Amino acid sequence: MPLPRTATTSAPPVMEARRWLEGVSHPSGRPLLNVSQAAPVDPPPAPLREAMAQIVLNDPDAHLYGPVLGLPELRDEVAKQWTASYGGSISADQVAITSGCNQAFAAAIATLCAEGDEVIIPVPYYFNHRMWLDMSGVKTVPLPFGDGMIPLAAAAAPLITSKTRAIALVSPNNPCGVEYPAETLRAFLDLARTHGIALIVDETYRDFDSRTRAPHDLFADPDWHETLIHLYSFSKAYRLTGHRVGAIVTSQARLAEVEKFLDTITICPNQLGQRAALWGMQNLGDWLAGERLEILDRRAAIADHFPGLAAQGWDLLGCGAYFAYVRHPFTVSSAELAPRLVRDAGVLLLPGTMFMPDELQGGETQFRIAFANIDRAGVKTLFERLAKVTY
Q: Collapse the DSSP code of 163 into the 3-class scheme (helix H, G, I; strand E, B; otherwise coil) and give the result.
A: coil
- 164-170 and 198-202 strand pairing: parallel
Instruction: For domain 5-43+287-387, give its CATH number from 2.60.120.560, 3.50.50.60, 3.30.365.10, 3.90.1150.10.
Output: 3.90.1150.10
**CATH code 3.90.1150.10 region(s) in the chain:** 5-43+287-387
- 350-351 and 366-370 strand pairing: antiparallel
Task: Find the DSSP H helices in 113-242.
Answer: 127-135, 153-156, 182-195, 235-238
Over residues 319-343, the pLDDT tens digits come to 999 999 999 999 999 999 999 999 9
Higher pLDDT, residue 391 or 255: 255
Burial label, 215 (beta-carbon count in 10 A; 0-12, 13-18, 19+): buried
Give the pLDDT of residue 391. Answer: 82
Over residues 242-257, the pLDDT tens digits come to 999 999 999 999 999 9
Q: How many CB atoms lie within 10 A of CB 380?
A: 15
Give the pLDDT of residue 160. Answer: 98
Give the pLDDT of residue 38. Answer: 80
% residues pLDDT > 90 (the chain): 90
Average pLDDT over residues 94-122: 97
At the topology level of CATH, where does 63-284 sit? Aspartate Aminotransferase; domain 2 (3.40.640)
14-23, 44-53, 275-284: which range is least confident on average? Answer: 14-23
Q: Which of 128, 110, 130, 108 is nearest to 120 (CA)?
A: 130
Whether the per-residue pLDDT at 70 is higher than 80: the answer is yes
Q: Please, which pLDDT band fits residue 3 given cuts at 50, 70 and 90?
A: confident
Chain-centre distance of CA 125, in angstroms? 10
